[in-house]
A and B are shown apart, each in its own frame.
Chain A
C-alpha cells in the first residue's frame, strides 16, 4: 500500500494557480526528492501534505491527498495529521527556549507530562537526530546558542519527538555549510528505515545522493516522477533532461 497518494491536486493563491493537476504516489520507507527551479511549486506542494497552506489566506485546494488511504482534507483532523506528518523547514527555526524544551515541546502539547517519559523521548529523539553527543551536557542551555547545523538537527529531533510517520523537509540544508549538510544527508539515510521522507531540494547532487524517487516540478506542473536513477539517467520528458543536464534552472 502507498503511504501517500495525491490525485488531481490543484492549488490556487487567489487567482494564481500554483499547482496543476498533481498526481503522485509515495512509497512507505522511501525518500522522495522534489526538484525543480525556484517558484516551480515544490515547496507549495510539500506544504499541502501537512496542510501548512491552511495558514495562508486565500489558498484554495481541490483534488485529494490520501495518507494511508484517508483523505487528509476531509477525513483527518489537522492536529492528528501534523502529528503523523512532521516538517523540517528551510531555515533552522528552534524555539527561543532550551534544547530540552525544544524537543519536549511536541510531546508536551500532546499531553505527555511525566518527567521520566519526557526525558526518555528527548534522549531518544536527540540520538536519532545524531545530536545527543554534542548537546547532552547542554540540554538546559538556549537552543539559540547552537550552531546552524546543530540547530537544524535539533529541529529534526523536535520533529521526531512526536513520532511521525512521514517527515517533510523543505530544503533542509540550503542554509548550512557542507559538513553540516553531509551530516543531515547521512541522517536521512538512517531515518528512512523508520520513516517516509519527502525532501525538497535545490541541489541535484543531493537529490541523487539521498533519494529513492525523484519528482521534477516545473511551473506548477509535475513533469515527471519515478525512481531516481530513471529520472536522472533515462528521463522520459525533454524538459526533465534539460533541467538535469543543467540547460536551465
Chain B
C-alpha cells in the first residue's frame, strides 16, 4: 500500500517535471526560431539584393517596385520615432498624474471609477481606437487645422490615448507599493501632501515610473493598426504635424499583401520587421536596466 503510493507520487513528480521543462524548451525554441526566420529574411535585403545598409537606414527614397529598387527606410524610422515620442510626451505626464490622483489623492474615486475605466481602456482592441480616430479625430483635425486630417498629429493623439492606461496602471502600482512608513515620516516632519508626493513619493517611485514610460513607448512603437488608420500612409518624412506620413509598422501592414516572397520589396519589409524586433529588444533591455537601478526595498 505504502509502496504503491510512493511509486505513484514519484511518477507524478516526474510527469510534472517533464511538462514544465518541455514547455520551457518549446518557448525558447520558438523565440529563437522566430528571431532566426525574421533575421534570415530581413538580412537578405543586404546579402541577396545587395542593398547597402547605409541606404536602408539613411535614404528617404522608398521605391521598392522599381527595376532597381530603392528601399530607404528613413521616413518610416523617423515617422515611428516622432509619433511615439510625441505620444509619450502627452501621455506620460497625464498618466503619472492620474496615477498619483488615484493612489494618493482620491483613493475612493480611484478605486471605484479610474481603475475600472483604465482596465476597460486596456481591453479595447486597437482597431476600435483606429476607427474612432478615423471617424472623429481625422475630420476634427481637417476642419479646425486644415489639411486632410490624416496626419502625424492624428497618429500622436491616438497613440497618446492608447498608451495612457499602460503608463497610468504601472505607475499607480509602483506608487501604491511604496511603504506607508515613508509617507508617515514625511507628514510627521510637517510636510504637506503635495510636498510628500513631490519630494518623497515621486523620487522613490522613479524607477517604476520610468519603466511605465518605456513600456508605453514600446507599445506606441509597436502599434500598427490604429496608427495606420489615421496617419495617411505617405512614405515621406512629415514636415509638419498636419502632414500624412508612415511608420515602420504601418508600412509593413500596408504593403505586405502587395509583394511577392523573395523580391527585394518583400525582403525590405522583412528588414523593417527585423528592425522593429531589434528595437523591442532594446526596450526590454532598457526596462531591465531601469528597473534594477535603485528600486526601493
Residues of chain A at the chain B interface (Cβ within 8 Å): 50, 52, 55, 79-83, 86-87, 89, 91, 93-97, 105-106, 108-110, 144, 155, 158-159, 162
Cβ < 8 Å to A, chain B residues 194-226: 195, 199-200, 203-204
Complex Cα distance, B188 from A81, in Å, reads: 9
Complex Cα distance, B182 from A158, in Å, reads: 12
B203 touching A82, Cβ below 8 Å: no
B190 touching A79, Cβ below 8 Å: yes
A83 touching B190, Cβ below 8 Å: yes
Residue of A nearest to B188 (CB): A87
A144 contacts across to B, CB distance below 8 A? 297
Is B192's CB within 8 Å of the partner chain A?
A: yes
Of A91, A94, A96, A106, the contact of B189 (CB 8 Å cutoff): A106
Is B36's CB within 8 Å of the partner chain A?
A: no
A91 with B181: in contact, given A96-B204, A110-B190 (CB under 8 Å)? yes
A82 touching B189, Cβ below 8 Å: yes
Residue of A nearest to B179 (CB): A93
A89 touching B203, Cβ below 8 Å: no
Considering only CB atoms and an 8 Å cut-off, how many residues of chain B contact the other chain? 20
Complex Cα distance, B16 from A39, in Å, reads: 47
Is B282's CB within 8 Å of the partner chain A?
A: no
Is B119's CB within 8 Å of the partner chain A?
A: no
Is B105's CB within 8 Å of the partner chain A?
A: no
A52 touching B190, Cβ below 8 Å: no
Of B186, B192, B204, B294, the contact of A105 (CB 8 Å cutoff): B186
A93 with B190: in contact, given A105-B199, A109-B199 (CB under 8 Å)? no
Smallest CB separation, A105 vs chain B (Å): 7
Complex Cα distance, B179 from A43, in Å, reads: 19
B199 contacts across to A, CB distance below 8 A? 105, 108-109
B187 contacts across to A, CB distance below 8 A? 52, 55, 82
A110 contacts across to B, CB distance below 8 A? 190
A96 touching B185, Cβ below 8 Å: no
Of A52, A91, A108, the contact of B188 (CB 8 Å cutoff): A52
Is B184's CB within 8 Å of the partner chain A?
A: yes
B297 contacts across to A, CB distance below 8 A? 144
Is B191's CB within 8 Å of the partner chain A?
A: yes
A86 touching B204, Cβ below 8 Å: no
Of B179, B181, B191, B204, the contact of A109 (CB 8 Å cutoff): B191
A96 touching B296, Cβ below 8 Å: yes
A50 contacts across to B, CB distance below 8 A? 188
A89 touching B296, Cβ below 8 Å: no
CB-based closest 6 A-B pairs: A93-B181, A82-B190, A87-B188, A106-B189, A83-B190, A96-B296
A162 touching B189, Cβ below 8 Å: yes
Complex Cα distance, B159 from A174, in Å, reads: 51
Complex Cα distance, B191 from A80, in Å, reads: 10
Complex Cα distance, B124 from A64, in Å, reads: 55
B181 contacts across to A, CB distance below 8 A? 89, 91, 93
B203 touching A93, Cβ below 8 Å: no
Residue of A nearest to B193 (CB): A55
A95 with B190: in contact, given A89-B181, A144-B297 (CB under 8 Å)? no
Complex Cα distance, B297 from A89, in Å, reads: 18
Complex Cα distance, B192 from A144, in Å, reads: 24
B190 touching A89, Cβ below 8 Å: no
Complex Cα distance, B204 from A154, in Å, reads: 18
Of A55, A109, A155, the contact of B190 (CB 8 Å cutoff): A109
B182 touching A82, Cβ below 8 Å: no
A106 with B203: in contact, given A93-B179, A93-B181, A96-B294 (CB under 8 Å)? no
A82 contacts across to B, CB distance below 8 A? 187-190
A93 contacts across to B, CB distance below 8 A? 179, 181-182, 184-185
B189 contacts across to A, CB distance below 8 A? 82-83, 86, 105-106, 109, 158-159, 162
Complex Cα distance, B38 from A18, in Å, reads: 67
CB-defined A-B contacts under 8 Å, sample of 28: A52-B184, A52-B187, A80-B190, A82-B187, A82-B189, A86-B188, A89-B181, A91-B181, A93-B182, A93-B184, A95-B182, A95-B200, A96-B182, A96-B203, A96-B204, A96-B294, A97-B203, A105-B189, A105-B191, A105-B200, A106-B190, A109-B189, A109-B190, A109-B199, A110-B190, A144-B297, A155-B185, A158-B185
Complex Cα distance, B190 from A109, in Å, reads: 8
Other than A52-B184, A105-B189, give 19 A-B pairs with Cβ distance below 8 A.
A50-B188, A52-B187, A52-B188, A55-B187, A79-B192, A82-B188, A82-B189, A86-B189, A89-B181, A93-B179, A93-B182, A95-B185, A96-B182, A96-B203, A96-B296, A106-B191, A109-B195, A158-B189, A162-B190
Cβ < 8 Å to A, chain B residues 81-127: none
Complex Cα distance, B187 from A81, in Å, reads: 11
Complex Cα distance, B186 from A106, in Å, reads: 8
Residue of A nearest to B203 (CB): A97
